[in-house]
Amino acid sequence: MTQAARPLAAVSLKAYLGHAETARWLAVVRPVAAARPAVEVAVLPQLTSVPEAVAVLGDVCAVGAQSVSVADPGAATGEVPAAVLAELGVRYGEIGHAERRAAGESDDLFAAQARAAVGVGVEPLICVGEDPRTDPVDAAVRCVRQLDAVLAGVAPSVPVVVAYEPVWAIGAEDPAPATHVTEVADRLRRWAQHRGRTVRLLYGGTAGPGTFAALHPHVDGLFLGRRAHDPAALADVLDEMARTVRAGEDS
């Protein structure tokens, strides 16, 4: 992460909240994010709440979509083309989450989603991670294999966000050990440099208060889930991220 770059805190609401609950959450989170401009916040609600999120947060936060369709406008019943996401104001499109892999989606599909997102100006947020638990070297090899497959059709000059989420840490009691994450992150950073890619690297997998301080400067931010669904906990994470980056710049 460059000195001028803000850390990124991306928050997926998954399918935990209904539309009315999401609207209330957005209203509470708006002043939380607005008061902490040192951190970029991106919110990824359910697709049906994307317009609400853009309307409420659009001037203080980025908005993302939890999936990207590969369908073109036309005869594609039930699909929401990537062009519509861009029209709505979506900046980030999540691709390759472990829960989508568990549902049977493949790297070939994720590669098509990445191309569709980039084609309409939506920045891919690509999730990678190993399952089952393994050592950091093998974990990085597995993640690189996923990244090379998903980004095969995306030019190296296109900026992407990569969220390292070890599958065994998603929904666990604690995040993956910092020693494991930092080694994987450093290897992914070297992969990006070798490929000439511009990458912002996040950690996800039971991330919450305390996680960023343990991982910085090896990662550029966090991909948050249920622990950020409490706005007070999200505020704590954003404050910690800002303090950590500021302390690193002052040292």
Residuewise pLDDT in 10s, the chain (251 residues): 443 489 999 999 999 999 999 999 999 999 999 999 999 999 999 999 999 999 999 999 999 999 999 999 999 999 999 999 999 999 999 999 999 999 999 999 999 999 999 999 999 999 999 999 999 999 999 999 999 999 999 999 999 999 999 999 999 999 999 999 999 999 999 999 999 999 999 999 999 999 999 999 999 999 999 999 999 999 999 999 999 999 988 87
The confidence score (pLDDT) of residue 86 equals 98
The confidence score (pLDDT) of residue 164 equals 98
Q: d(Cα 226, Cα 135) in Å, to the nearest integer?
A: 26
The confidence score (pLDDT) of residue 84 equals 98
| Architecture of the structural domain at 8-250 | Alpha-Beta Barrel (3.20)
User: pTM here?
Assistant: 0.96
The confidence score (pLDDT) of residue 2 equals 42
Q: Is the bond leading into 136 cis (omega within 30 degrees of zero)?
A: no
Token pair 């369709």 is found at 69
Task: List the chain domain ranges.
Answer: 8-250
Catalytic residues: 97, 165
